[in-house]
Amino acid sequence: MQVLRTGLLGALVVLLVSVSAAVFAENATVTEKGPFEKIEQVTDELLVVIADHAEAFPENESEYFQALNVLLEQHIDFNYIAKSVMGRSAKSATGEQRTEFAAIFRNGLIETYGRGLISYGDEKIVLLESVPLKPGQRMVSVKQEIQADGVVYPMEYSMALSKKTGQWKAINVVINGINMRNIFRSQFANAVQKSGGDIDTVIADWSAE
C-alpha cells in the first residue's frame, strides 16, 4: 500500500541527512513505532512545524529553528552521524571535540536547510510499501519517492534501532543516488587535509551548506 504526502513534505529529505547508530537494542519497546511508521510520523509533524511558522518567517526564525531541533532530534541520530562524518578523525579527536562538532553539525543543518523548507510547495512524497521486519532486525531501509514537475527522485533512508532509547532513528539518506553521509564525510576529510590536521580549525569553520 502506498501512503501519499503532499506539499512541504518534500523538504524532509534535505534534513534527514543525514546521516549509522553506535549501538542497537535487542528489543524495541512495545509502544515504539516501527521504522516505516516513524518516517510517516516525522513527515506529518514536520509539516505542522513549517505551517505554524511559515507566515511569520523570518522574524520568528529562532523559534522556528528551535521547533525543528526539538522535532528532529527525536527522529535523527545526529551524534552518531556527526561521528561518522568525522571518519578517522573521530578516533584522534577528544571527547570535547566530538561533542562540539556534533552540536555544530546539528545546528548547521537545521538552520541552513530550515530556511529552505519554507519555499517548498507542490512536491509529493510517496512512502513505498513497507516490508515486515525479521525477528531481531536492527537496521532497515525505508524507500520513498519525491515527485515534482513530472520527475521522480528516489530516496532511501537508513534506519537503526537505538539501544539507549529503543527507538528507530534515521542515520542516513541516499537521494537520487547521492549518499549524503558520504558527501559530508568527504567534506570533513578535505577540510582536515587543508588545515594540516587541525581539527579545532575544521570544527570552527564547518558549514553544512
Query: DSSP per residue over 19-64, as a string?
Result: ---SSB-SS--TTPPPHHHHHHHHHHHHHHHHHHHHTTTTTTHHHH
C-alpha grid cell, residue 29? 519497546
Q: Is the dihedral of CA 155, 106, 33, 167 positive or negative?
A: positive
DSSP 136: T
Is 164 buried (19+), middle (13-18) or exposed (0-12) by CB count in 10 A? exposed
Cα separation of 117 and 47, whole Å? 10
* E strand residue ranges, the chain: 3-6, 124-127, 139-148, 151-161, 168-175, 178-179
The reported pLDDT for the residue numbered 123 is 72
The reported pLDDT for the residue numbered 17 is 36
State the residue range of the domain holding 136: 3-205
The reported pLDDT for the residue numbered 48 is 87
Cα separation of 101 and 81, whole Å? 11
Q: What's the domain count of the chain?
A: 1
DSSP 129: P
Cα separation of 153 and 36, whole Å? 19
Cα separation of 191 and 202, whole Å? 6
**Peptide bond before residue 58 is cis, with ω within 30 degrees of 0:** yes
| Nearest CA-CA partner of 169 in 39, 9, 27, 15 | 39
Task: List the chain pLDDT tens, one digit each, 209 residues.
Answer: 444 444 444 444 444 433 333 333 334 344 578 999 999 888 788 878 988 999 999 999 999 999 999 999 888 999 999 999 999 999 999 999 999 999 999 998 899 878 877 766 667 778 888 889 999 899 999 998 888 788 888 989 999 998 888 899 999 989 889 998 999 999 999 999 999 999 999 999 997 65
C-alpha grid cell, residue 178? 547521492
The reported pLDDT for the residue numbered 1 is 43
Are 153 and 143 spatial neighbours (Cβ–Cβ below 8 Å)? no
The model carries a pTM of 0.78
What is the CATH classification number for the domain harbouring 101?
Answer: 3.10.450.710
The reported pLDDT for the residue numbered 208 is 60
